[in-house]
Structure 1
């Protein structure tokens, strides 16, 4: 199972399994020693330009999601990391950690949808 969790919420739980930070920048106010992050997947984060365009309101969430999925599909590093996440998932729970305040519209939701599609394509 791949699940998501805001890094500021309950730093560590037994149910987290492997904890992967999927933000490009380290979350403010979080000590690395307290975060219990197993890996930092910068390759899976949206590009700085895309992230800034969305946060500044230059593009809406729908456009952000579309462009972010395109970035993921065109990046060899992202593709390799997606496969790594699926390999880890086959061994147990994987928790994707993020810092965004908005829990209804954020890059982790787009990433989870992308991982689901990626998994279906690799199973063919």
Structure 2
């Protein structure tokens, strides 16, 4: 049986994970800002990003990213394949690290992707909310 503190921590985590574009101005409510793309965003100076960290290992493999190409019709299959990648190796470890960050307070996942709802960051947010 979960303690009251464990329940509170879990509920807190599910409410405090957001996904935003890295190009958007930082918001005071962002909490810990983590870039989750494998490649550095074009035209963005590192000091302007205002990141806590850059977590490349949680990003989809280059092969999967190139296959997807942000084609909306491939999103469901992309999400399924990406969840498979998140279950293995360094991506699994990075996912665990992000869960720890989310447990400590608000977490904002940042991506350069234009279509955030169809991005790996949206899939990642869903994965972080599940245990």
TM-score bracket, normalised by the shorter chain, equals 0.7 to 0.9
TM-score by length of 2: 0.81
Unmatched 5+ residue regions in structure 1? none
Separation (CA, whole Å) in 1 of partners of 2:109 and 2:116: 13
* Superposition TM-score, scaled by structure 1 size: 0.86
Shift of 1:83: 2.0
> Equivalents in 1 of 2:103, 2:123: separation in Å?
21
* In structure 1, C-alpha distance between the alignment counterparts of 2:92 and 2:117, rounded to whole Å: 25
Mind listing any 5+ residue stretches in structure 2 that lack a counterpart? 1-15
Alignment of 1:22-33 (within 5 A): 22-33=36-47
2:2 is equivalent to residue 2 of structure 1:
no
**Residues 5-63 of structure 1: CA deviation (Å, up to 9, x unaligned):** 101111x2211111100000000010001111111111110000000001075x71111
Give the CA RMSD over aligned residues. Answer: 1.5
**Is the helix fraction higher in 1 or 2?**
2
Distance in 2 (CA, whole Å) between partners of 1:52 and 1:74 is: 20
Displacement over 4 Å in runs of 4+: none
Which secondary structure state, in structure 2, belongs to the residue aligned with residue 95 of structure 1? strand
- Computing the radius of gyration from Cα coordinates, the structure with the larger value is 2
